[in-house]
Chains A and B, each alone.
Chain A
Amino acid sequence: MKPDDAQVNWVEEPKLGLTGKMYLPLIFSGLAVTTKHLFGPKMTVSFPEQRPEIGNPLIYRGVHRLNKDEQGRVKCVACFLCATACPAHCIDIIAAPSPWPDRDKYCESFTIDELRCIFCGMCEEACPVDAVELTSLFDLTGRSREEMIFDKEKLLSVYDMTKDAEPMKSRVMGASP
């Protein structure tokens, strides 16, 4: 940015008037705003007793889940596209030949480091089989770093936990299953 850039709009600091210099009137006008909000509608929620409402779960980016197909098998085909797209390098996959005849490859291990994840949703975008999705669960906690590295079983259990409340996004959005 150059000082003579035409797109830069330089604003001078406004000069303080008499009320400003006297200090107290501004204090009172500030307190008036505070008092007004004391009686107005509440903007905050009392978490965790009260849960905030998620506007649209379809576009919310919370904890990941690994989707299962109709037969309860993991949908992931271990193509590594999520790991490739991930800007935080938090996805680690080990691929193996699949035990099922209709597929060549599946993920033997699939781990996401939830602490390293920046919840950008790129993995979800990259996935060609809609296997990895972000749910609207946002309050994930753990007692150790190891606990926050979610493995395949844990990610599949997130699917079991959320599948009723949040059906697979691809189906909701009208894509083929």
Chain B
Amino acid sequence: MGTVLVDGIEVPVADNERLNGIQAAERAGIDIPHYCWHAGLSVVASCRMCLVEQGTKDPATGKITMIPKVVPACQTPAKDGTVFITNSDKVKQCRAQVEEALLIDHPIDCPICDKAGECRLQDYYFEHGQPERRADIRPFHSPKREMGDTVTLFVDRCVMCTRCVRFTREITGTSELMVTNRGSHEEIDVFPGFPLANKMSGNVVDLCPVGALGDKDFMYQQRVWFMKSHDGICTGCSTGCNIEVEENQDRVYRLKPRENAQVNQWWMCDEGRYGYHHVHAEDRQVGPRRREGDKYVNIEWNTVTAEMKAKLTAAGRIGAVISPHLTIEEAYLLIKYVRSIDPAAVLALGPVPVIGTDERFPNGFTIHAEKAPNRRGIEMLLAHFGGKVLSFVDFQKELDAKTLRAVWVSAGYKKSDWNDETTARKFAGLDVLVVQDLFSSPLWNMATYQLPGGSFAEREGSYVNFQDRLQTAKFAIRPPVGAWVEGQLYWRLLERPGLYQSRKVLTEAAAEVTALHLALGGVPPTGLDLRANQLAGEKKEAATV
């Protein structure tokens, strides 16, 4: 255990911790400005924005000896006895000078720059810059260029922090980006014929502290200060990356990764990042409908509760397909509902799409082939309620036996390709077939009841990812008029009063399902590792045997 002094504040540092000056200062609540340093990348100390005064404290005499010159905090290890001064006049002057140097050839086109509002150069100028521009140099103008299919480079805005270059070298290992020329002619570029085309390319836009790298998907769509950010979980695959869903007036404009050292660190893949467009797709289903003969008639959501109860009770034997896109809370409520009508209802896991193979990047980040966020969670619930986990294929065999009279299918997939005509035909001849989905599919077109559901941005609840980590997402937007999010519908079907409360349902589920017991104490922002519970359970079982 050591102690680092930052501006006179004592910061305890453990022996095995390898912190630099910026991280030590952060613990003391002091923000050292920096451009090039990023916790997930190697240190280059090239931007010089984090210059601080540094010295050492003699443990015997307690005398502090300062180094006469300033050093970059990002490159200076914070070990026992290290002293940092971050608020002296010398440091302030250094920051102002760095900021001035960067702004000399910056175009200052903030009004048309998408980064404005969340730009480091802007923020630090207000905080550390000097009000007057002394240099009489006109900012140079260089046209923007395409880096690849996802990213555009605004050459003149770049401050040469090389975060993006280091990202492609260290995290993806694809090394598409490089620095061309030298000195004041330095530019970021790609090698001719090798565009930025890796599956995590969108991250360089988040990494860019200024507006040099622009996301083509988001470009000119919205100013950042109009958007509100909501903590969510990516539902693109079973990794369960922590994300921020940024929306304005119920329209999602972009997804950004949220730091979680246990799951996705600081990154997310392009598939997840740009995989939100289905939320606002033109062909999304809205308005509940009932089949009458060959036609569908519109019904009211308010009448659904009574109608469902009557129809399902009349049918008797019920089967329910629980989609891996449902949250734990929603799946739990659905199971409760079908079991309240038919105590022996057959429960099955919905189809889990698997596309290709897992893709692992050199830093350990993995894009999973399993394109559903909550297979593990649903399996835990099914194991508790159904005894065994029935797959979608097994469920179809169950259908062939013709014992089931009613089936409730929940879906919520990003595309409608999760079932085909052959699968849909197996569901023929049922008294009641309820399908809840976002898009029309063969099965949807056979349903007795078509109930439009919610997308990931509208859901609230918890997902269990591939490593049994339970993570909670909040809803970001309201569903389109005419669609009801599954949680709210099930809540209403169970005739519970008021609005759906995911927190309450999770506590209830955790109290009932052993595998989820840990969630009783609440879910921390970085998620809850359920494996700890399983290990303890195994140990207990072993002890009793």
Contact = CB atoms under 8 A, between A and B. Distances in A.
A116 B154 CA distance: 37
A87 to B, nearest CB: 15
Contact of A77 (B111, B144, B221, B226): B111
Chain B interface main SS type: loop
B112 interface: yes
Interface residues of A, number: 15
B126 interface: no
Contacts of B144: 104
Contact of B220 (A78, A81, A129): A78
A104 B212 CA distance: 13
Given A84-B225, A104-B144, A97 B111 contact: no
Interface in A60-83: 77-81
Interface string A85-97: 0000000000111
B111 A81 contact: yes
A77 B144 CA distance: 16
B112 A84 contact: no
A128 interface: yes
Interface in B324-375: none
A79 B112 contact: yes
A104 B225 contact: no
B223 A80 contact: yes
B219 A78 contact: no
Nearest to B154: A104
A169 interface: no
A128 B112 CA distance: 10
A128 B111 contact: yes
Contacts of B226: 80, 84
Nearest to B141: A102
A152 interface: no
A54 B112 CA distance: 35
B225 A97 contact: no
A104 B111 CA distance: 11
Contacts of A129: 111
Contacts of A154: none
Interface in B224-260: 225-226
Contacts of A103: 112
Interface in B209-226: 219-221, 223, 225-226
A101 to B, nearest CB: 8
Contacts of A105: 112, 220
A91 to B, nearest CB: 12
A81 B110 CA distance: 11
Contact of A96 (B143, B154, B220, B223): B220
Q: Which 10 A-B pairs have the closest CB atoms?
A: A79-B111, A95-B220, A105-B112, A80-B223, A128-B111, A77-B112, A104-B112, A79-B112, A105-B220, A81-B111
10 contacts: A77-B111, A77-B112, A80-B226, A84-B223, A84-B225, A95-B220, A96-B220, A104-B109, A104-B154, A128-B111
Given A77-B112, A104-B112, A129-B111, 8 more contacts: A77-B111, A79-B112, A84-B226, A97-B219, A97-B220, A101-B143, A103-B112, A128-B111
